[in-house]
Structure formats: structure tokens, C-alpha cells
């Protein structure tokens, strides 16, 4: 195996990931020549492995024994000593406790348990689209996409309506920013405020339980033991972040692409692209989560590289989802693509808990667009988020016109 001749930029810098598709050639070179690449560290931070091929990313995600998430699953935490929620928060817990906690939470995320939530998702999505059509223009990211996933996860957690805009603001700051030079510590302050908010909410649900996810965690054991307040708070934080970002950024990226791709807009609006396949392609194409992280628990040889116990390993979903060995024409947005074995929602034991719900949200948005919208035009520059973990758009000004054959009066 030969080393890539292309210089790999600093993958820890959000600026590296800011341009849309700015690393396509880098990822292609790494997949071909150096699929397990060593990224050097600095005086203050360790180096880490960069895995880019689809089959390798899937293999590491599947192997939680040799590659643990309990020292963090994103670069920001892994490079600074680990995650404070390790062993307690579902996303950064492995082994028996992970299985017990996931089993408990799956009770709230099964299709049957979510029947009422799914209906509300469809109502909210169509209402927001019809309001945008009445105005004729909107910022799709701010006026529509920001509201659907957040409203859904807040419904599951029974977050009061009056608090939801504040929660949205905090989630945007906690993992990503609209600004290249955010205020010092803004992300840490946002995370701290979210945790404090949920501490108060958990204490209230201990006294007055309902049928929401927080009450479930507060009143039912995970395996043989009940969760304490801190464990519940950490998992609320995980759910609110994961439940908002992936589907929100996927929706925005899809609308931005559809506004510039007449062929795929026609496939959606005429119904020639089935919603199931279209939803999966939106997830693959946008890949809002750039990477997942793991730490090797023992020496592992992958290709001709020796990964030592304790080494940080990063799995780049954005590269794996463009792997030429898995996807025909991977750089083409194709709403009829099938099969579509993307890794956007993860793989293995940590496959996204809310995968069904996320797909429902994207499916509802695509259905609403094809039912009510005749055309989409981007009317100004989009604003991309600033992050080394998430990829997407925070502002997307568009104009929309109604379908001539669509009823403007939609009722529940």
C-alpha cells in the first residue's frame, strides 16, 4: 500500500470542513492509497487514526469490544481526555450497561410507541410548509427545518412549549457555531446550561411522572439498577442533541440540493422517486455527522497499520458514504438509489436509537414538498455551520411557489 501524495489538512479544525465538498479529493485519495491514515497531533493534543473506507468504518463500528466509545465518540472530547458521560450516557457506554440502557429507551422509540408522535410530525411539517407558501419566501433552515425535529424530541421529553426556543438556541451552540470565531467557551456554556435545565426537569418528573421518556428513565430500571439523576440528565442531553441535528441538517441539505437539481426535483415532485429511497439518499448525501470516534482497547492490525491499545480512531462517515466500491456514482444525488447502505445513522451496537423517528421526519418533509410545493429557488447565500463534527447549513433563504394542483387548505 502506498501513502497518499496529497497533503491531508488539519481535520481537527472546523475551517477545514467549512466549504461544502471541500475534502472530496482528499477522502478519495485516502480511500484509495491510505485507508487507515495517521493524523499527527500537536504539543497539546494526541494524534489519531483516520479510517475512510466503508467496510472498515462499518467493521470498527460493529466491534465495540476492541474499539470502545467510553473515552468519547467525537474528536473534541477524545483529544482532551474523554467524555464526562462515559459509562453513563448511551452514546458513550458499552457492554452490559449499554445493552440495558438501550433496551429501556427502545421502549419509547419503537414504531408502536411513536404512532402519535409520527402523526404530529406530519401535521407540523405540513403546517410549516403551507405557512411558507403563503408568504412565498422563507429561510428554510430557520423557519421550517429548525422546528420539526426539535418539536418532536421535545414532545418525547415533554419539554414545555415555552422553553423550546431556548433549547434550540443552546443545541446550536453546544456542538457547532455559525461563527468562525465564537465567543470563548460558548460551546461549554451551552452544554452546561442544557445539563442544568434537564436537572430541574428530572427532579420535577421524579415528583410528577408522566408518560414521557424522562419519566420512563426516572421510574423504570435499566437492567438491575435504577438510573440516578445525573445519568438521566446526560441521556436527555444526548437525546436532544442527536434528535435535533441529524434530521434537521439533512432536511436543509436536501432542499438546498433540490433547488439546484431540476432532474431530482422532478423525480420527487412527480412521484417517480419513492419516498423510502429518497429518504435514504438524503441521509447518505448530506451525512450531517462527519465522524464517530473510538479508542482501541487492544492492539489491532487494520490493512498494514498497527493500531496500538489506547490509540484514538476516527471513522469518517462523510468519506465512507462516498466509497466508490459501495455506491455507483457516489458523487451524484440520486433519489432512486437502491440499495443504499449508507452509514449516516451508524452501524452495530450504537446504531442510532432514533433512526426510525429521524427517517419519519425526513420522509414527512419530502412528502410535504412533493404534495404542496411547485418550485424552490435559493434567493441568497447559505450560511454553513462551523464544526469539525457536524456538516450542514444554518441559513438557507428560498422562495417557494405552490403546486397548481395542490389544495391550499390542509386539515388534520
The model's pLDDT over 247-294, given as tens digits with 9 standing for 90+, comes to 999 999 999 999 999 999 999 999 999 999 999 999 999 999 999 999
Give the residue-averaged pLDDT of 333-359: 97
- Quick one: pLDDT at residue 411? 47
Does residue 124 register a pLDDT over 80?
yes
Cross-strand bridge partners of residue 312: 295
Residue 230 burial (CB count, 10 A) = 15
Which of 14-28, 51-65, 327-341 has the weakest average pLDDT?
Answer: 14-28
Record the cell numbers describing residue 231, joined without a space.
Answer: 445519568
Give the residue-averaged pLDDT of 50-75: 97
Three-state secondary structure call for residue 351:
coil
Q: Could you give the CA distance from residue 378 to residue 173 in angstroms, rounded to a whole number?
A: 25
Cross-strand bridge partners of residue 137: 399
Please give the model's pTM, rounded to 2 decimal places: 0.94
Which of 81-85, 209-213, 331-335 has the weakest average pLDDT?
Answer: 81-85
Which of 11-15, 20-24, 352-356 has the weakest average pLDDT?
Answer: 20-24
Phi, psi of 161 (to 5 degrees): -55, -40
- Quick one: pLDDT at residue 151? 87
Give the residue-averaged pLDDT of 362-372: 97
Does residue 182 register a pLDDT over 70?
no
- Quick one: pLDDT at residue 76? 87
User: Residue 179: which pLDDT band, with cuts at 50, 70 and 90?
Assistant: low
- Quick one: pLDDT at residue 407? 59
Q: Could you give the CA distance from residue 268 to residue 341 in angstroms, rounded to a whole number?
A: 21
Which residue ranges form the domains of the chain, and what is each CATH number? 14-402 (1.10.630.10)
| DSSP notation for 101-164 | HHHHHHHHHSTTTTHHHHHHHHHHHHHHHHHHHHHSEEEIIIIIITTHHHHHHHHHHT--GGGH
Q: Could you give the CA distance from residue 89 to residue 97 in angstroms, rounded to a whole number?
A: 10
Does residue 51 register a pLDDT over 80?
yes
Q: Shortest CA distance to 56 belongs to which of 292, 251, 303?
A: 303
User: Residue 164: which pLDDT band, with cuts at 50, 70 and 90?
Assistant: confident
Which of 91-100, 158-167, 327-336 has the weakest average pLDDT?
Answer: 158-167
- Quick one: pLDDT at residue 185? 62
Phi, psi of 344 (to 5 degrees): -55, -35
Does residue 6 register a pLDDT over 70?
no
Residue 112 burial (CB count, 10 A) = 6
183-211 residues labelled b (16+ CB within 10 A) or e (exposed)? eeeebeebbebbbebbeebbeebeeeeee
Does residue 409 register a pLDDT over 50?
no
- Quick one: pLDDT at residue 178? 62
Give the residue-averaged pLDDT of 85-90: 93
Q: Could you give the CA distance from residue 20 to residue 276 in angstroms, rounded to a whole number?
A: 25
Give the residue-averaged pLDDT of 205-231: 96
- Quick one: pLDDT at residue 317? 98
- Quick one: pLDDT at residue 379? 98
Average pLDDT, the chain: 92
Does residue 181 register a pLDDT over 60?
no
Contact indicator for 53, 284 with CB cutoff of 8 Å: no
Amino acid at each position: 500500500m502506498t501513502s497518499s501524495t496529497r497533503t491531508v489538512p488539519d481535520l481537527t479544525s472546523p475551517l477545514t470542513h467549512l466549504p461544502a465538498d471541500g475534502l472530496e479529493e482528499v477522502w478519495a485519495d485516502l480511500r484509495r492509497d491510505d485507508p487507515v491514515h495517521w493524523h499527527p497531533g500537536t504539543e497539546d493534543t494526541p494524534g489519531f487514526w483516520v479510517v475512510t473506507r466503508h467496510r472498515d468504518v462499518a467493521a470498527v463500528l460493529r466491534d465495540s469490544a476492541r474499539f470502545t466509545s467510553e473515552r468519547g465518540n467525537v474528536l473534541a472530547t477524545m483529544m482532551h481526555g474523554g467524555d464526562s458521560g462515559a459509562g453513563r450516557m448511551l452514546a458513550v457506554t458499552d457492554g452490559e450497561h449499554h445493552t440495558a440502557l438501550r433496551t429501556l429507551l427502545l421502549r419509547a422509540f419503537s414504531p408502536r410507541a411513536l404512532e402519535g408522535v409520527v402523526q404530529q410530525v406530519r401535521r407540523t411539517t405540513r403546517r410549516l410548509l403551507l405557512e411558507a407558501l403563503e408568504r412565498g419566501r422563507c429561510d428554510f433552515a430557520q423557519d421550517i427545518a429548525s422546528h420539526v425535529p426539535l418539536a418532536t424530541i421535545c414532545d418525547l421529553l415533554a419539554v414545555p412549549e415555552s422553553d423550546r426556543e431556548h433549547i434550540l438556541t443552546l443545541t446550536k451552540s453546544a456542538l457547532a457555531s455559525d461563527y468562525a470565531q465564537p465567543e470563548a467557551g460558548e460551546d461549554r456554556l451551552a452544554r452546561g446550561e442544557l445539563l442544568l435545565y434537564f436537572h430541574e426537569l428530572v427532579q420535577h418528573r421524579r415528583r410528577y411522572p408522566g408518560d414521557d421518556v424522562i419519566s420512563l428513565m426516572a421510574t423504570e430500571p435499566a437492567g438491575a439498577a435504577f438510573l440516578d439523576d445525573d445519568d438521566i440528565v446526560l441521556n436527555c442531553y444526548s437525546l436532544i442533541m442527536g434528535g435535533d441535528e441529524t434530521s434537521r441538517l439533512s432536511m436543509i441539505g436536501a432542499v438546498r440540493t433540490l433547488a439546484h437539481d431540476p432532474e431530482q426535483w422532478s423525480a420527487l415532485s412527480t412521484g417517480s422517486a419513492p419516498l423510502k429511497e429518497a429518504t435514504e439518499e438524503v441521509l447518505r448525501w448530506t451525512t450531517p455527522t462527519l465522524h464517530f470516534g473510538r479508542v482501541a482497547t487492544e492492539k489491532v492490525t487494520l490493512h498494514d497499520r498497527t493500531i496500538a491499545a489506547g490509540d484514538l480512531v476516527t471513522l469518517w462517515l462523510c468519506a465512507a458514504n462516498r466509497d466508490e466500491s459501495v455506491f455507483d456514482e457516489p458523487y451524484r444525488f440520486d433519489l432512486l438509489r437502491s440499495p443504499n447502505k449508507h452509514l449516516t445513522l451508524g452501524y452495530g451496537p450504537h446504531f442510532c436509537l432514533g433512526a426510525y423517528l429521524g427517517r419519519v421526519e425526513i420522509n414527512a418533509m419530502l412528502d410535504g414538498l412533493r404534495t404542496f410545493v411547485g418550485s424552490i429557488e435559493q434567493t441568497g447565500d447559505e450560511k454553513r455551520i462551523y464544526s469539525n463534527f457536524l456538516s450542514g447549513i444554518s441559513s438557507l433563504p428560498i422562495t417557494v411557489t405552490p403546486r397548481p394542483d395542490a389544495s391550499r387548505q390542509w386539515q388534520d
